[in-house]
Amino acid sequence: MKKLLIIPMLFACYMGMGQAIDSASIIGKSIKIGNLVVAQYDFPDKMNWKEAKATCASLGKGWRLPTRVELNTLYQNRAKIGGFTIGAYWSSNVYVFSSRYILLFFNGFYGISNKNSTFYVRAVRAI
């Protein structure tokens, strides 16, 4: 009987290992760029695309991953927004079935990556 309880407990522990995020610590003093509201901070850890999408949505109504075009707007206004890492950020756009667009913040070029790779995330919402 004891062995049967171990498996569900391990599964519950595994499922609870995601980023426990206080939305205020990410949204902070949000920045408005055009018709877009940008969270002040990145999430603290890189994450895969599915986690990134769900974690942005968990911030509250309307928060999401930026589209490819919106992510480029963030890159163009990175000095005004602040806090970006020199690395790649997820966009919400699908390239093909298992690949998604990313934007490289060290040169402003788009890339394509498998949705299971891990990259940085900055949440946005429309006004």
What would the two tokens of residue 88 be? 């790649």
* pTM for this prediction: 0.83
The per-residue pLDDT for 20 is 58
- Pairwise CA distance, residues 74 & 92, whole Å: 14
> Does residue 78 form part of some domain?
yes
pLDDT tens, residue by residue, 75-98: 999 999 999 999 999 999 999 989
- Please check whether residue 88 is in contact with residue 119, taking contact to mean a CB–CB distance below 8 angstroms: yes
pLDDT tens, residue by residue, 32-59: 999 999 999 999 999 999 999 999 999 9
> Does residue 12 form part of some domain?
no
Domain membership of residue 34 as a residue range: 28-126
> Does residue 21 form part of some domain?
no
- Categorize the per-residue pLDDT at 14 as very low, low, confident or very high, splitting at 50, 70 and 90: very low
Q: What angle do CA 99, 105, 111 make, to 5 degrees?
A: 25
- How many domains is the chain built from? 1
Q: What is the mean pLDDT of the chain?
A: 88
> Does residue 93 form part of some domain?
yes
> Does residue 114 form part of some domain?
yes
Q: For the domain that residue 35 is a member of, what is the CATH number?
A: 3.10.100.10
- Pairwise CA distance, residues 92 & 57, whole Å: 12
